[in-house]
Structure 1
Amino acid sequence: MPIVKISKAVREMVAGQTIEIEATDLAFKLDLEAWANKTGHTIRDFSEGEVLRAVVELS
């Protein structure tokens, strides 16, 4: 579900902006990587812990 929310949020953003995402879904990392590859956006940071955190730069 985080990818659906991210996809909706980035519609309001422009290239060069970054979005910070937090998720607890264990599949989030793989889903985010696939989404970034498909859309051309860049994952700038990713940290794993109790909560997964990512920073994505829009292209």
Structure 2
Amino acid sequence: MAEDKALPVGYLTYYPLPLVYALIPWLLIKELYVIDRIEYRRRGVGKALMSTLAREAQ
């Protein structure tokens, strides 16, 4: 969850998927949401959420 001064401004939900035939785990992104206000949409909140997930996936 992304927050700005304790106000939730975005979130990303995902699920780990074990793929037996590939022998590597995958992550399935279910939702990526950033509050519909220009000051949050243009600040890179979505990119920050995706970057956090990418770091966790490694």
The alignment's TM-score, normalised by the length of structure 1, stands at 0.36
Greater share of helix: 1
The alignment's TM-score, normalised by the length of structure 2, stands at 0.36
Larger radius of gyration: 2
Which structure is richer in relative contact order (CA contacts within 8 A, separation 6 or more)? 1
